[in-house]
Structure 1
Amino acid sequence: MAPLMPSEDPNSPKTRLLTLLNVSASRSNKKRCIDAVLQPEESGPRKKLNARKTAAVVEEKTTQDVEEERKSEKGESESEDEEDQAQGTEVSDTDSAYKFHFGPSPSILTDPARTSTLERTWTTTTQTYGALGQFASSMPSTASSTGSSFDDATASERLHARLRPTWSNHLSNLPPKSRSQHSSALGLLASREDVYHPHLAGNVVLHETWRRSAAAHGLDHVLKKSDIVLANNKKLKAREEKLKKGSKKGDAKDVEKDDAAKGKDAVEEEEIEPDQGFTRPALLILTPFRAQALKWLSTLSSSLPGKIEGEDRYKREFGLPEGASDKLKDAPRGTYAEDHVEMLSGNVDDSFRLGLRLTKRGMKAFTEFYSSDILIASPLGLRLAIEKAKNHDFLSSIELCVLDQTDVMRMQNWEHVQFVMSKLNELPKESHETDFGRVKPWYLDGHAAHLRQTIILSRHETPEMRALYNKTLKNVAGKVRAVKRYSAVRVPEGVDTQFLALPPSSSTTNPVSEPDARFNFVTTQVLPTMLKSAVQSSGACVVVPDSLDFVRVQNWFRKQELSHATLSEYATGPEISRARQAFFAGKKNWLVVSERFWFYHRYTLRGIRHLLFYAPPAHPQCYAEFVAYPFSDKDVQPEDVTVRLVAGRLDALALERIVGSKAVGGLISGAR
C-alpha cells in the first residue's frame, strides 16, 4: 500500500478500509472477491466501484457462488431455499421506502445532516402519532422538514407480500383500540426513525403491540433487502450464462466487441447497483432472558408463514427444562405481582445468542452468525461471544437494532449494553469473502451508524437510557421519544414522608462527582440524625438503588460497627432467611437492601418502621411496596412509620414516577 500522505488520518474510514483490502488480499486462503478493486486502473477516467467489464464477468464470483464455496469448504450442505427464492424474484414498488433510506445513495444522508447528529443539534417538536399518543420528535437541525414520514393508513399495505396475510389476520382478531395501536406502531417504525418508548410499565398489551410490530417491521426489512440481493444475483447469473453461450461461438474478445456494438444502454443495463453490507446480519434483537427471547422467536415465527427449522430445539433450549415447574406462573394469582410474573417467569438464563436465516419455506434457527439474517442475543451472551472470538465483524452491517426490556438490562449490567452498542457498524477487520463491488458506498465511507434504525423499549426511563438515546442514536431520519405525564404513587395515608434535596452545588449536578456528594450528605447528615433518635435507630431500613452505592453504604455500616443485616441480589436462600429473621426479631437494628434484591425476589420484609431511600428507586413499585411493608405487621399505625427520600437533580426521572409530574420540579429544587 502506498504510504499515507501527511494529511491522511490513519484512523479514517478510507485508510482503515484500504488496510482491510490489502490485508485480506494477502491471505492465500481467502477468496479473491476484491481483485477488481485492488487491480490498478487502466488508462482513462476512473470507473464506478461496481462497474464490471463484460468480458471479465466469467472469471468473477457472485455472492451466491462465494457462499456455496465457503460452506462446501466447511463440509456443510447448502440449502436450496435461497436459490429457489431467487427464481422469479421481482422487486416490487413497496420497497421504495426501503430504497429511500437504505439504497445505495440515500438523499437524506448529507454532510450537514451527519454533522447535526454528531453535534447533537436537533430540532425537537411534540407530535401525536395516531393511537400511540404524544412523542418528542427530533430531526437534524439541517433537515428541510421537522416532521416525520409517519403514515399508519398504508403501513400494512407496504409490508412485504409474504407478511401481509399473517399481519392482516392478526389485526382482524384484535379489538379496535389494539388494532389502531398496531397500525400506528407499524407506521411509525416504517418511517425509519429511531423509536424510544420508555413508558411500558403496567401495560403488557402495549408492550406486546410494540413487539409484534417490531417483529413484522424487522422481517419486512430483511425480506426486502434479500429480494434486491437475490434479484441482482439472478441478473448476474443470467449474464454469466449468456456470456458462456457466447464464448462457444467465439472468443471473449468477439463477445466484448459484440456487446460494445449494442451501445451504451446495454452496458448500463449490466451494471448492478451496490446492494449489500460488509456482512449478512441486518437485524439485531437484544433481550435480557431466554424466556423473553422465546417470545420474540414465537412472534417472528407467527409473523412469517412457513416451516421453522429448529423450532423444537429452540423451544427446548429457551424454555424450562422438561419436568421443571415455574413457581411464579404456578402460584395462585395474587401471590406475586403481575409485572414480576411477566418479567421473571420461564427460563431466566441471561447468557445466550442465536442466529436465524430466512428461507423461501420459512426460517431456519441456529445458523452460523455470518450466514444469518437475524441475531437474537442477550448483552452478556453477545459480549462473551465477541471477547472469545476477538472479532465483532458480524455487527458491522446491522441496519435495524431492537433493545427490548431495556430496564431489565440495566438491572443486570448496563456496561454490557454499552459494550454491544459501541461495536455496531464499525468497519470490519476481515473481508469475510465480501464482494466489495456490491457494498453500498455509505458502508465504505463508515456512515452506516447514521442510517441504522434503533428501537428501544422499556417499562420506565433511567438516565442511562436517556444518555443512550441522546448520545448514541445518530439516525439522519430523526428519532422520537414517547412522553408521559405521571401521577403520584399511591401510599398509605398519614405516613410521615420527607423528601431531602441534595444541597445544590456543582458536585450534585455533575454525574461524576454526584455519588460522592450523595454519600457524604447521607453519612454526615441523614444517618447521624436517625442514629441519635432512640426510636428511628431500630427497625430502620435503607434502600439503595445502585449496586456500587450499595457496596459503599454496606462498608460504611461495617466500619461504624452498627447492628445491621444486608440483602443483595447475590444473597443465597439461607442468607436471605437469616437476614430477614434477624431483622424481624429485633436482633439487627438496621436492614440495608439493594433495589436489585427487590427486583429479583419481591419478598415481603417485616419489621420495618423507618425507611430511608438513598435515592429514588428506578421502579416506582419498589417505593410503593417498601412503604407498604410496615403494615404487613399487626397493629401498625401510619404515625408509627417514617419515610425519608434523598433526591438530587439527576434523580428527576425516577422521582417523577413516584411523586408525579406536577410535584417533581418543586421537590428537586429543594422543597420539603
Structure 2
Amino acid sequence: MPPRGKFQGRRGSARGRGGKSGRGGMKRSFGGAEKFHNTRLEDVEESDSELSGEAASSHLDIDTEGSTSDVEETPAMTQPYIALMQSLEKDASSSVAPTAKRRKLDHPPPKQEVPPAAEGENGEVSDDEGHDVDHVEEPEEDPSNDVELENDDDDDTPDAEDPFETHFVNPDSNEYNIRLKGVTSNVHQTKQVEKNGWRIFRSTPGQTPDQTTQPPAIFSGPSSLKLKHRLIETSNKLCPSFDKLEQVLYPITFGYQDLLFCGRSATNSENLRRMTCLHAINHVFKTRDRVIKNNAKLAKEGESADFEPRDQGFTRPKVLMILPTREAAVKVVNAICAVCEPDQQENRKRFDESYIDREVKFSADKPADFRDLFEGNDDDMFRIGIKFTRKTIKYFAQFYNSDVLLASPLGLRMAIGSEEDKKNMDCDFLSSIEVVIVDHADALLNQNWEHVEYIFEHLNRQPRDAHGCDFSRVREWYLDNQAENFRQTIVLSAFNTPELSELHRCSKNWAGRVRVQPEYNGMIQELGLVKAKQTFSRFEAPSIADDPDARFTYFTSAIVPSLIKLAGRKSSGADAGGTLIFIPSYLDFVRVRNYFSTADAVESLSFGAISEYADVREASRARSHFLSGRHKVLLYTERSHHFRRYVISGVRRVIMYGLPDNPIFYREIVGGFLGKSEQDMLLEPGRGSVRVVFSKYDVLKLERVVGSKRVGKMIRERGDTFDFI
C-alpha cells in the first residue's frame, strides 16, 4: 500500500457526489510539496490495521454505564426478539431479587499494560500486534458507578416543556400518530418565514391546511434552554447571549427538528460548533442520568419495584458526528471539554499525538475558508469513540462503550464494512443513534459523498445481535422499528446542493425538518475593482439525466467556434490566448479534455489541463505554458481549486462550462484571476470577459452567483442570454 499522503494512481474517473461530478474520496496532504491521494474505498486495503472494519466489530465489547442487567451470551446471529423471549423465560424461572442493572458482556482476561506505541505516519499510533489503534482496552468499572447519583440538582419530576421529554420520553400520542402518518405517506406542510435576515423553510409532517404551526420560542441566551444543571454555568460563561443567527438556530436544534443550515462560514463555525456540542452533551447527559437514577430506584426497591423504566436503546452510542478531517475532530473535542469541563481526560495525550498537527502549512494569503478546512491535520481517515463517566472523558473508547462517535465518512464506512462481506460487517453500534451532526458538509461533498449515503443507509437498523441488551428497558419505539422517526439530523454547510437537499428531504423525523439559508445578493457584485463583461447563456436540457450531453453539445456548437475564430487573429490582445475553461465535474473534464485532444475542429487550439489528479510538477508546467502563451487554453476543475487554491496568471478570458457549487470560487476565479492579469499589465482594465453556461438544473448554483432576486427571471424568461457588467 503506498505511503499515506501520496497519490495512489491516476484514474479515469473520480467517483464522488453519487458518481456524477467526479468528487472521489480525495484528500489533501501537505508536507513540503503538495501531494494527493485518492481515498476511494476500493483503494484502501482491508488489511490496514488502523481502520479495519473487522477490528471495529470484533473488539467492541460492552461496558455500558447505568444500562441493563446481565444477559446470557447469545449466538452471533440471534435476533433481538428471540433474545427477548429467552430473557423473559429466564426471569420467570428465577426468584432472585433484582439488582442494580448494568449491561456488559464477558470481558477478556485483563492484559498487562501495553507500553506506549511508536508514533506512525500522520501522528497515528502504531501497534506491532495489529490491534485497532482507534480503540483501547477498558478495565471493568466499579458497578457502583452505575447506581450512584451525581451531585445534580435536577428534579426527578419530568419537565413537560423539555423537548427531550416531549420528543423521546413522553411524546403526545395524538400528535405523534398524525405526524407519523405524514412521514409514512410523505405528506408535509411547508411554511416559509424570514427572521433576523435568514430565510426559514419549515416542513411539518401530517399537518392539514387548517392547522397552524405554533411560533417557535424566543431564545435570548443559554438560560432559555432546558439544560442539565452542570452545563448551565459553563454555557452562560461561554455565550452569555445569542446573536441573531443563534436565535434562529438554537430553538430548532434543541427542539430536535432536523436542520439543514446553508450559511456556515469560517466566521461563524466556532459558534455553530459550540451549539452542536452543547446540544450533543446535553442529550447524552440527560439519557445517561435518567438510566442511572432508574438503576438506583430499582436497586433500592428490589422486588417491590412497581415500575418498569423504558429508558434505553439497543446499544449505548447516542450521538454521531461526521467530520471532514482530524483537525475538525480536535476542534469538536476542545468544544466538548469547554462545555462540560471534565476533571479528567483519559488518553488525551494519545489523542493529541494522533490528531494534532501544529505545523504551519499555509501563508496568510490563503482564503479564510481554505485555512479553516485544511490547516492542522487534514487526514480524512479516522474514527474515535468518546465515553463519558463521572466527571471523566475517555477517548478511544470501543464503539459499543461510547456515548459519542466522531468519524470521517471513509473511516466510519470502513468500520461498518462491506455489504458483500456479511460475516465481518457490523453496523449495530449505529442502531441507537439519536442525534447525527454533519459538520462542514460542503467539504464532505469534495471527498466522497457515497460514503455519507452509505452511513445513513445503515443508521437505526435493527441490530443482528443482542449485545447484552436488556429488552425490558428498551423504549417501545425502538422495538417497533421506529428509531429513524425519532433521530435528529443536523447538517451544517456553506451552501446547499442537490445532494444535501435530498438528504434533508428524506428525513423521517416526526418533529419535522427546517432549512435555513441566507438571501443571496449575488457574487457578481463582489468582484472588487475588476470590471468585466459577464455573459450568462442558458441552454435547454430535457431532463437532469440529459443535462451533461446537452451541455457538451452547446459548448462545442456555441462556445468553441468563437474560440476558433479568435485563434485565427494575430492581434495580441484579441486572440484565443489566455482562455481559462473552468469545469466543475471531473467526468465533464475528461470529456472536454478528450475533445480538445482528438477533434480536428480545435486542432489550432493548444491547451493544458489541471485536475485534482495532476501532481505539483504537472500543474506547474501547465500554468507556466499558459502564462507564456504556449498553451492558449487551460482546462481547470473545481476540485483542483478546492484542494489547492492556485492563483493562475495570464487569464484574459474565463469560460465556465458550469457554475461552481462554492460561490467564493466564482469571485476568486473571475475577480482574482482577471484582476491579477490587470495588475501584471497583461490585460487592459475592463477588457476581460466571462462566459457562463447554465441550465435550469443549476438553479441553486446560479442563485448564489447572480442573487436571489435575479435567478427566477434567468430560469424562466424566454431569452437565453443575460449580460452583466
Q: Same fold (TM over 0.5)?
A: yes
Q: Specify the alignment match of 2:695 in structure 1.
A: 648
Aligned 1:510-549 pairs, distance under 5 A: 510-534=543-567, 535=574, 537-549=576-588
Distance in 1 (CA, whole Å) between partners of 2:486 and 2:688 is 54
Aligned 1:289-328 pairs, distance under 5 A: 289-306=325-342, 307-320=344-357, 325-328=359-362
User: 1:314 Cα shift?
Assistant: 1.5
Q: Specify the alignment match of 1:213 in structure 2.
A: 275
User: What's the TM-score once normalised by structure 1's chain length?
Assistant: 0.81
After superposition, the C-alpha distances for 1:159-191 in whole angstroms (9 at most, x for unaligned) are: 01121111111124xxx664x654654333221
**Cα 1:73/1:123, change in 2 over 3 Å:** farther
Aligned 1:367-406 pairs, distance under 5 A: 367-387=397-417, 389-406=424-441
Aligned 1:580-591 pairs, distance under 5 A: 580-591=623-634
Distance in 1 (CA, whole Å) between partners of 2:78 and 2:402 is 20
Distance in 1 (CA, whole Å) between partners of 2:218 and 2:448 is 37
**Cα 1:231/1:596, change in 2 over 3 Å:** same
**Cα 1:33/1:596, change in 2 over 3 Å:** closer
Aligned 1:480-499 pairs, distance under 5 A: 480-489=514-523, 490-491=526-527, 492=529, 494-499=531-536
Distance in 1 (CA, whole Å) between partners of 2:234 and 2:398 is 28
Match of 1:578 among 621, 633, 636: 621
8 A Cα contact 2:488 2:509, kept in partner? yes
Distance in 2 (CA, whole Å) between partners of 1:220 and 1:57 is 38
Q: Specify the alignment match of 1:278 in structure 2.
A: 314
Aligned 1:82-481 pairs, distance under 5 A: 83-84=144-145, 86-88=147-149, 91=156, 93-94=158-159, 96-103=162-169, 107=173, 110-127=176-193, 133-142=198-207, 145-147=212-214, 150-152=217-219, 156=223, 157-172=225-240, 178=243, 181-182=245-246, 185-201=249-265, 204-239=266-301, 242=302, 269-306=305-342, 307-320=344-357, 325-328=359-362, 331=363, 333=364, 335-387=365-417, 389-470=424-505, 472-481=506-515
3-state SS in 2 of match to 1:358: strand
8 A Cα contact 1:100 1:107, kept in partner? no
8 A Cα contact 1:357 1:365, kept in partner? yes
Distance in 2 (CA, whole Å) between partners of 1:451 and 1:457 is 20
Distance in 2 (CA, whole Å) between partners of 1:205 and 1:235 is 47
Tell whether 2:671 aligns with 1:610: no
User: 1:304 Cα shift?
Assistant: 0.7
The 10-residue stretch of structure 1 (293-302 or 112-121) with the greater mean CA deviation from structure 2: 112-121
3-state SS in 1 of match to 2:691: strand
Distance in 2 (CA, whole Å) between partners of 1:547 and 1:409 is 16
Distance in 2 (CA, whole Å) between partners of 1:403 and 1:545 is 23
Tell whether 2:694 aligns with 1:630: no
Tell whether 2:91 aligns with 1:56: no
**Cα 1:521/1:134, change in 2 over 3 Å:** closer
**Cα 1:292/1:28, change in 2 over 3 Å:** closer
User: 1:435 Cα shift?
Assistant: 1.5
Distance in 1 (CA, whole Å) between partners of 2:314 and 2:504 is 26
Amino acid in the other structure paired with 1:386: I
Q: Specify the alignment match of 1:257 in structure 2.
A: none
User: What's the TM-score once normalised by structure 2's chain length?
Assistant: 0.76
Distance in 2 (CA, whole Å) between partners of 1:603 and 1:36 is 59
Q: Specify the alignment match of 1:3 in structure 2.
A: none
**Cα 1:350/1:423, change in 2 over 3 Å:** same
Q: Specify the alignment match of 2:123 in structure 1.
A: none
- Segments of structure 2 that go 5 or more residues without pairing to the other structure are 1-70, 112-136, 419-423, 568-573
Q: Specify the alignment match of 2:44 in structure 1.
A: none
8 A Cα contact 1:155 1:187, kept in partner? no
Match of 1:567 among 588, 610, 625: 610
The 10-residue stretch of structure 1 (401-410 or 440-449) with the greater mean CA deviation from structure 2: 440-449
Distance in 2 (CA, whole Å) between partners of 1:285 and 1:377 is 6
Amino acid in the other structure paired with 1:548: L
Q: For the pair shown, which has the larger CA radius of gyration, 1 or 2?
A: 1
Amino acid in the other structure paired with 1:448: A
The 10-residue stretch of structure 1 (591-600 or 80-89) with the greater mean CA deviation from structure 2: 80-89
Distance in 2 (CA, whole Å) between partners of 1:205 and 1:91 is 40
**Cα 1:34/1:122, change in 2 over 3 Å:** closer
User: 1:558 Cα shift?
Assistant: 2.2
Distance in 2 (CA, whole Å) between partners of 1:213 and 1:543 is 37
Distance in 1 (CA, whole Å) between partners of 2:416 and 2:361 is 34
Amino acid in the other structure paired with 2:191: T
Distance in 1 (CA, whole Å) between partners of 2:443 and 2:665 is 14
**Cα 1:537/1:310, change in 2 over 3 Å:** same
3-state SS in 1 of match to 2:612: coil
8 A Cα contact 1:101 1:108, kept in partner? no
- Segments of structure 1 that go 5 or more residues without pairing to the other structure are 1-23, 43-50, 244-265
Distance in 1 (CA, whole Å) between partners of 2:317 and 2:650 is 53
The 10-residue stretch of structure 1 (633-642 or 563-572) with the greater mean CA deviation from structure 2: 633-642
User: 1:555 Cα shift?
Assistant: 2.3
8 A Cα contact 2:74 2:83, kept in partner? no
8 A Cα contact 1:98 1:221, kept in partner? yes
8 A Cα contact 2:218 2:247, kept in partner? no
3-state SS in 2 of match to 1:477: coil
Distance in 2 (CA, whole Å) between partners of 1:151 and 1:624 is 36
After superposition, the C-alpha distances for 1:427-449 in whole angstroms (9 at most, x for unaligned) are: 12222122222211211221111
Distance in 1 (CA, whole Å) between partners of 2:425 and 2:175 is 31
Identity %: 31
**Cα 1:564/1:205, change in 2 over 3 Å:** closer
The 10-residue stretch of structure 1 (150-159 or 189-198) with the greater mean CA deviation from structure 2: 150-159
After superposition, the C-alpha distances for 1:485-514 in whole angstroms (9 at most, x for unaligned) are: 1112223554222101012x42xxx33222
Distance in 2 (CA, whole Å) between partners of 1:106 and 1:120 is 20
Amino acid in the other structure paired with 2:94: A
